[in-house]
Chains A and B, each alone.
Chain A
Amino acid sequence: MELLVSPFLDNAFMLRALAAGILVAVACGVVGTFVVLRGLAFIGDALAHGVLPGIAAALLLGLPGIVGAAAGALAMIGGVTLVTRRSRLSTDTAIGLLFVGMLALGVVIVSRSGSFAGDLVAILFGQVLGVSEGSLLLQAGATLLVIVVAVVCARPFLLLAFDPDLADVAGFPARRYHTLMLLLVALTVVVSFQTVGTLLVFGMLLAPAGTGALLARRVGSMMAIAALVGALSTWAGLLLSWWLDLAAGASVVLVAVAIFFLVLAATSLGAARHPVGDRAR
């Protein structure tokens, strides 16, 4: 038992990492549910990587990285919206263009500064063990905002995932709520990058929500399962990292992805024993 809790009780930085990780898990559980249900994985991935030039430019200018990340995310959403509306290209193509363009810009900015090597690793993979109390507060505020918006907009978000036309006819403009949903994804990515990094936050958006989709029969319970799986992954990942001396952020995401595949195997086995037709009865 002591093996499971002592690292957190004896080390303030581990406790802060656990708290930050759980806050990321809750925000990613809520937002990730929409990402999975609406098939927004590609734009989620693009946002997670597209913030890189913003962060790099902010660091170059001596600004906080989070300001650059926010600017990068907004540029990404604006660019995708513009290309989609002004051309006949599909959203996938628009996202891909912006994604690769922003990533290349990030690498170019980083290559212009020799002092970036360490920072780049932190941007990509996070510094969950170095989370400050200020970052923790910011993460708590963002998670609270995500929950409030998700609760207030539960009906339009559900209709949007079900059928955007139905949302429009019911008086909830699909385009407006789609943009709001993208902003929530962006907010989650931006405030989580300090904890798990821009590469790994995408894993926290997808893996726990994917596990929730395998188990839940309602959207609310899918979010709850996703948040719980994310929190469990944070705790187990940090422990693995502590006892086996592994990279912390990557361990957390690896546990989340492993849980997804374990649940997938278990549910596939269950489905083979009880065919789909039985469930409706």
Chain B
Amino acid sequence: MTARSTAIEATGLAVGYPAEVVVEGIELLLPASGSLALVGTNGSGKSTFLRTIAGLLRPRAGTIRVLGAEPGRVPARIAYLAQSHANGFILPLRVVDVVRMGRYPARGLLGRLRSEDEGIVRGAMEAMGVDHLANAPLGSLSGGQRQRVHLARVLAHRADLILLDEPNAGLDAGGRERYLAAFAEELHRGAALVTATHDIGEAVEYDRVLLLARRVVALGPGSEVLTPDRLMETFGIVVRDPHPEHGARFAVAERTHGAPQVVELPESATR
């Protein structure tokens, strides 16, 4: 596979911090326009891996190539949604100002935003259903509305590789539907997508799933990786939907004490 057709290539990769390796031995080849879900408990290494791909953390061992280059070398082609934005809410910014930030990497330090950029920004706001809030101050929005704005910023980037850290956080049902549709469209456009998520139902839709528990538990197609046994190994507790017609549906919860267990979902809860 050539560099042009590879989104991420990791060999013997260890991710973490100077004082601590969080996950090691990651072997991954994600093709361009491929999708990868990172699944694991809090602290399992999902965000650390995403931050390493984004170039925010140095690999602790092994090698990683992102879009054929060292991480962080092709900012115009990589969009990143962090879990939280430390200062965002105190800045005097309107929704449209935040979404416009998605065009900065393409236009650089001084390049003017053109009418085509404004069109992309408008389209991104419409896709996430925040176009009617374009002139609203960011600080006046609810948490879920802000998450939609950040997702619109990522969409406006038109990146070749999209990195999302828990994009579902705070979204209501309508927001989640818009998010799934908008990023399915990004995959269709040819972008590669890597998402850290707790949502097993979403993860199973991805080409590949990397199950993490401060180590690589499994990597492969969702149907092979997201089995009750492996989820139990990762999370400690699994709630299983007994109806095969629903597709293999599971919910997971982190078990902090006691033996791991699989819980059958009561019939009344699955109808």
Contacts and interface: CB of A to CB of B under 8 A. Distances in A.
Interface of A: 37-39, 152-153, 155-156, 158-159, 161-166, 168-172, 213, 216-219, 221-222, 276-277, 279-281
Contact of B87 (A155, A163, A216, A217): A163
B92 A213 contact: yes
B1 interface: no
A280 B75 contact: no
B87 A170 contact: no
Contacts of B79: 169
Contacts of B87: 37-39, 161-163
A168 B72 CA distance: 8
22 contacts: A37-B91, A152-B109, A153-B109, A159-B104, A161-B91, A162-B87, A162-B101, A164-B86, A165-B51, A165-B54, A165-B56, A169-B54, A169-B55, A169-B72, A171-B108, A172-B104, A217-B94, A218-B93, A280-B133, A280-B136, A280-B137, A281-B136
Given A155-B109, A168-B54, 4 more contacts: A161-B87, A163-B88, A277-B140, A280-B136
A50 B137 CA distance: 37
Contacts, number: 88
Contacts of A38: 87
Contacts of A281: 136
Contacts of B85: 162-163, 166
B44 to A, nearest CB: 20
B155 to A, nearest CB: 15
Nearest to A221: B92
B140 A276 contact: yes
B133 to A, nearest CB: 6
Chain A interface mostly: helix
A159 B101 contact: yes
Range of interface residues on B (Cβ < 8 Å): 20 to 34
A170 B92 contact: no
Nearest to B145: A280
B136 A163 contact: no
A69 to B, nearest CB: 30
Contacts of B141: 280
Contacts of B91: 37, 158, 161-162, 219
Contacts of A277: 140
Contact of B97 (A172, A218, A276): A218
Contacts of A217: 92, 94, 137
